[in-house]
A = this chain, B = another copy of it.
Amino acid sequence: MGRSEINIVLLGLGVVGGGVARALHDKAEGYAEQVGLPLVLRRVLVRDRTKPRSVSVDDDLLTTDPGEALATEADIVVELMGGETPALDYIERSLQTGRHVVTANKEVVSKHWLRLRSAARDSGVEVYYEASVGGGIPVISPLKRDLAANEITGIRAIINGTTNYILTRMAAEGVSFSDALRQAQELGYAEADPTNDIEGQDPVYKLSILSSLAFRTFISPDDIYREGITQLHARDFKYAAELGYIIKLLAVAKREQGGVRARVHPTLLAKDELLARVDGVLNAVQIEGDLVGRVMFQGPGAGSDASASAVMADILEAARAIRFGEVTTSSDGSSGLSAEPISKLISRYYVRIEVMDRPGVLAVIARSLGDHGVSIASVIQKETDEEGQTAELVIMTHEAQEDSMQSSIKQIAGLPEVSEIGSVIRVED
């Protein structure tokens, strides 16, 4: 059909968009060689034309008019604006008009998974979202392709650089959460409003995408249990280390009988596990398949160039698909697995409790746990505050069921001998 180039429209020219525009410009020749056709940037939607930018894009290409951007003739629309609105609308309109879409938008992809896939299928195009999880680390494509021979049985991931940086600082330096957060903000690793990161919403979006793909069933962000890192104390890191563990904000999804249980919460991870050694802003995704066993993908989870690497990989794949006439490879089959609530989770638990420093306290606590079917693996009495006549107990339980554990904790919190439940942290084995 005599196609002579691949036309691209870019929505957004921020950190990642800038990196993509730069790569398209600087590496034009190599990319053209790979695809067999030049990749041509046709229009760039920006919020402010006059804003100074680190990347030079031809002034004529910039527009602030979404209608104009979306009406531009294009084979591939690259959405890098972020946020749900109006990005969802632009992505859908692009798909409906037969354009492949490449996006890094975790919120849109996770919330509107089924809708986007069906819009793409209806138009015979594909939506690509490698950069929505793990920045530059290949994870989506390995799940789609390299591990396609496997039934995926589990995912364990560190997919939020901000919180991993904070937890790494807290573990290494014994500082408080708020001090570590301040450090992260000073270094630009945390935003001025860090809520989405520290409360775990960002990794929930990403885990939703990973598990929907891996388990071939839609796992909505709303189906994922979420707990942030704001309640963690410096002491928990110290005690965890003494017990041989490191605390990570882990995103975990596991195939259970008939379902998938997905959750994001602080987790004690044995310190000799490779995943426990992923520090700072780095991300890592560990995937378990019935054939391959466990494989891990690790690298920079954010950053202009790293994310541009993933976006560009998608653009190149879409371009090759267009050039060589490959039809979509998405399997539309669904496994029919349902999302399981956390209440039936079986886990070991680390519990830190402030108690009155008097005889018989442990017996009362142990009885409550026992009454709920939770058995104790070890108890250590930590620093006693003689003035306040309180002591601190650190309890490790054997495997127990989440709802039983929570009932017991609720009961223990109400005991007159207990001044405070310090922390309850699940242990990942």
Binding site for B on A (CB under 8 A): 19, 23, 27, 30-31, 33-34, 130, 136-138, 141-142, 145-151, 274, 277-278, 289-300, 303, 305-306, 308-310, 312-313, 315-317, 320-321, 324-327, 329, 331, 333
The list of the 9 closest CB pairs from A to B, nearest first, reads A149-B312, A295-B299, A138-B146, A136-B292, A291-B309, A292-B309, A326-B326, A296-B298, A291-B305
- Report the copy number of this chain in the oligomer: 2
Q: Is the CB of B34 within 8 A of A148?
A: yes
Let me know if A298 and B274 touch, CB within 8 A.
Answer: yes
* Nearest residue, chain B, Cβ from A278: B274
Complex CA gap A141/B130 in Å reads 14
| B23, B141, B321: the one within 8 Å of A149 (CB) | B23
Which residues of chain B have C-beta atoms less than 8 A from A150's C-beta? 309
Which residues of chain B are near A315, meaning CB under 8 Å? Answer: 149
Give Cα A154 to B11, complex, Å: 33
- 22 A-B residue pairs with Cβ-Cβ distance under 8 Å, sorted by A, are A19-B291, A23-B149, A23-B291, A34-B148, A34-B331, A136-B295, A137-B292, A138-B295, A141-B142, A145-B316, A146-B310, A146-B313, A149-B312, A291-B312, A292-B300, A293-B303, A293-B306, A296-B297, A297-B297, A297-B298, A298-B298, A320-B329
Whose C-beta in chain B lies nearest to the C-beta of A305? B291
Asked if A145 and B149 make an inter-chain contact with CB atoms under 8 angstroms apart, the answer reads: no
Residues of B within 8 A of A317 (CB): 145, 148
Closest to A326 in B: B326
